Amino acid sequence: MKKTDILGCVGWGALILLSSAWIPFFGPFLSLLAPLPFLYYSSKLGTYQGVKLAALATITIGLFARLIGSPQIIIFCIEFSLLGLALSELFKRKLSLGHTIFFGTAFMLLLGIGFLFFLALSKGMGPFEMTLSYLEAQLKATIKVYEEMGMSQGNAGELGAYGKAFMAIILKIYPSLMIIGTGFAVWLNVVVAKPLFRMGNLGYPAFAPTDHWQAPESLVWGVIVAGFALFLTSEGIELLAINALIIIMVIYLFHGLSIVLFFLNKYRVPSWLRIGVYFLIIVQQLFFVALSLAGLFDQWVDFRKIHRRMES
């Protein structure tokens, strides 16, 4: 293990993780890329050297985070370093893109739930109570900021009432949001790793073209079962169905995005126009619904004629 590898991994990881505390808006998004240095160097140096480097980087970043008064960064560093190592092992298994993201997400969820239980027990609380107290603290902090800006007590009370209603909704769908957020972080690191591996002359898995990706056909039964379960009177089953339906429709959203990418590639749409298309999809939520429905009905309509080509 060379000194340049140590400095590269520590510096790269520290810069990304500390950006979440230093950069107000884009910092948390950049911190999602924290597994990349551990994935890169573990793939470059091998599993054993990668584990040693990850441990050294975690200790160094943890000491620096403690000095600057952000000790919570060490938790994220441990999580993301382990995710990077896990993705490196999954890359070596030469799995499909879907299986790589699935197993990476499952690993990260188990790790995150374990950390959540540990933090909750250390504070003498349950995981649900800890999540609720965190959301309430954020709501109170937001109301306090608006009051300091000159908002009247009446408007602050209305804001608090709306915030509590919003918090109640978030608590109901929190499991699905956690799964979706974790899956997005894993997918983002897998996608961004491709150009980095090419620059470093590392072997990147030969995934199938993303514009041909499609959700499993059996997933439609999940939509049907979850849809019927919404009409049941049991509150527990209803919550389970809502969360399951949200997760499934997000999977179909990515199916719809692969359809859009297929036609962009087919008609050789220039980069500047592609950026415009992606921007419209992000800012207009109606496109999310349209793409999810396109992904759902694609197995019958076959927009890309993939099934017809396979049959012929």
**What are the residue ranges spanned by the domains of the chain?**
209-312
Residue 151: the pLDDT is 62
> Across all residues in the chain, what is the average pLDDT?
84
% pLDDT > 90, the chain:
34
Q: Is the dihedral of CA 279, 282, 284, 290 positive or negative?
A: positive
Rounded Cα–Cα distance for residues 252 and 294 (Å): 8
Tell me the pLDDT band of 145, cut-offs 50, 70 and 90. low
Rounded Cα–Cα distance for residues 44 and 42 (Å): 5
Give the chain's length: 312
Q: Indicate the helix (H) or strand (E) that contains 84.
A: helix 73-93
Residue 115: the pLDDT is 82
DSSP state of 210: G
CB 263 within 8 A of CB 298: no
CA–centroid distance for 122 within its chain: 26
Enter the pTM of the model: 0.86
Give the closest residue to 35 by CA, choosing from 245, 259, 196: 196
Average pLDDT over residues 5-13: 84
User: Is the pLDDT at 7 greater than 90, yes or no?
Assistant: no
Average pLDDT over residues 29-45: 90
Average pLDDT over residues 2-25: 78
Residue 117: the pLDDT is 81
CA–CA distance from 234 to each of 114, 174, 222, 287 (Å)? 29, 19, 18, 32
User: Is the pLDDT at 18 greater than 90, yes or no?
Assistant: no
CB 2 within 8 A of CB 8: no
User: Is the pLDDT at 122 greater than 80, yes or no?
Assistant: no
Residue with tokens 């505390």: 21
Tell me the pLDDT band of 232, cut-offs 50, 70 and 90. confident
